[in-house]
Structure 1
Amino acid sequence: MELNTTIYNRNTPADRVLLVGPSLGGNATHQWTKVAASLIDDARVIFIDLPGTGLSEPWDDNDEPTLDTVAAAIAGIARDLKDELGQDVPIYYAGLSISGAIGLHLARDYDDLFAGVVVVASAATVGEAPRWIERAEQVEATGTQQLVEETTKRWFTPDFRAEQSDTVAIIMEGLSVSEDHSYAQLCRALAVHDLRGDLPYIQTPVMMIAGGRDTSTPIANVELVAETAPRGELHVIEDAAHQVPVMRPLEVAALIRQMLDRPRWNRVVSESGD
């Protein structure tokens, strides 16, 4: 699997790299640009497109539909960056929703590559397997466009939808133009995603960021990761729904900057709000 990447700030003087990934059916550039703008001098920010979104090719059915498959492709990107920039260059990863779940696979399996992982609006399990399989079959039958209305209500609060309608429209366009089979395969990958038993063995620093109004990701599931992973940390952004980097980019950027700047990690639980 080869994933498309886009460098946001190629000429930054920063000697750190931050890879960022989108939600299911999301466009990484649209979802993470405001966060990247706040980190323009802190790290070289690179957007990653999942299969069938942005400029990445559709899912190749020679690849098993698991998040391990996608994680291996992202690890390959990290290895290439270290070959290009130097083995001592620290690489961090931040992922939203499904990409956050992928981040836990990276933290478990590639601690030699990643200095830290940020998981936004995701957890060691996401949803229920039968419903993911049902959604995969539904999308392959009727496409992603029919998901837009209901998903918009879950991804954003009513106030944000009213005040930032243009932003919402741009984000939801990413879902509507996602390649259907790729979306379905990612649903199947989420159906078998379960890292709860592996959490005690993850040594990579893991920062969990949750939206206080995120109805898609139960806070208990997020807390489980932060409390069980040895170097886990939890932050709750109270007024955000599922699309935390879109709704509260400055807060997300500030938290990521904490990870970038912190020489040593200890578990911290905090709440962030207005």
Structure 2
Amino acid sequence: MQFALIDDIAVHYDFRPAGAGASDAGPVIVFINSLGTDLRIWDEVKTRLGSDRAVLTYDKRGHGLSGIGATPYTIERLAHDLIGLLEKLSIARAVLCGLSVGGLVAQGVHALRPDLVAGLVLSNTAHKIGTAEMWNARMEAIGKDGLASILDTTMPRWFTPAFRVPDNAAYAGYRAMFARQPLDGYIATCAALREADYTAAARAITVPTLCIVGDQDGSTPPDLVRELAGLIHGARFEVIAGAGHIPNVEQPAAYTDLLRQFLQQIPPHIPQGD
């Protein structure tokens, strides 16, 4: 396991350089996990990508094996964590692929340090997610009864009925992943989502951008993700069939295919000025 001290926490990450013989000119692909998950949600996509590109996954603050630190959070705080990790690893150019709150973190990094961002994959996310009333109600509920108390209302938004069957061991595993996330970190991230509005920042995005959503996403439905794509000049919008809020888990082949196609649009080198 790999850890880096970033400000007040230790961040758990996994960095896989490009394999021998692969070109190292392309940007590093950075995957940012969603609320209530950790870096393992990207395992199948990483496997399918192979070793021809460098890949970084990490547990955002308050999730997985990363520290919790001071609470509550803001998206800017989460973005600064990723910027610090990129600097620690001497990564000067990246394609950020963020899922749900991870997509807001990706937008936050672009707003703060556009020089680091070669492209954006904004997956199952938006410029603004939910309402203050919704997030406050969720924080109150889990503060009283824990994360397991909202499993049966959360999982139908995450996964399709075909995935949520008793004999699917992976479904049982993702339920366990959700329930075992640090409660304080989850609540602090809900607070960040409650306050986040990246509408203006989305309009300022100029790098190549791909917006992805599952056709059965119950957390950030297709119309919401389409709205985000409409704010970004030239953004591409794609719907993955047979998937909910986490299509990289339910439909990893389709997800990876879209990612590969998008990466071909990213220039291998940083353009040089006159």
Same fold by TM-score greater than 0.5: yes
Pair 1:117-2:124 in alignment: no
SS of the equivalent of 2:114 reads coil
SS of the equivalent of 1:6 reads strand
CA–CA distance in structure 2, aligned partners of residues 12 and 35 of structure 1: 16
Residue of structure 2 aligned with 1:53, choices 63, 71, 75: 63
Q: In the alignment, which residue of structure 1 is the partner of 2:97?
A: 94
Residue of structure 2 aligned with 1:68, choices 60, 72, 76: 76
Residue of structure 2 aligned with 1:17, choices 19, 28, 49: 28
Deviations 1:28-62 (A, max 9, x none): 21x1100000112232222110223221012423x
Pair 1:6-2:14 in alignment: yes
CA–CA distance in structure 1, aligned partners of residues 125 and 81 of structure 2: 20
Q: In the alignment, which residue of structure 2 is the partner of 1:132?
A: 135
* Unmatched 5+ stretches in structure 1: 265-274
CA–CA distance in structure 1, aligned partners of residues 172 and 234 of structure 2: 37
* Unmatched 5+ stretches in structure 2: 1-6, 268-274
Deviations 1:4-39 (A, max 9, x none): 2123x346244241111211110221x110000011
TM-score using structure 2 length: 0.86
Count of residues in correspondence between the two structures:
255
Q: In the alignment, which residue of structure 2 is the partner of 1:197?
A: 200
What is the Cα-based RMSD across aligned positions, in Å? 1.9
CA contact (8 A) 1:200 1:228 kept: yes
TM-score using structure 1 length: 0.86
CA contact (8 A) 2:18 2:53 kept: no
CA contact (8 A) 2:78 2:105 kept: yes
Structure 1 residue 72 displacement after superposition:
1.0
CA contact (8 A) 1:107 1:203 kept: no
CA contact (8 A) 2:18 2:52 kept: no
Which residue identity is paired with 1:12?
G
Q: Sequence identity of aligned pairs in percent?
A: 27
Q: Structure 1 residues 11, 230: CA separation in 2 closer, same or farther (over 3 Å shift)?
A: closer
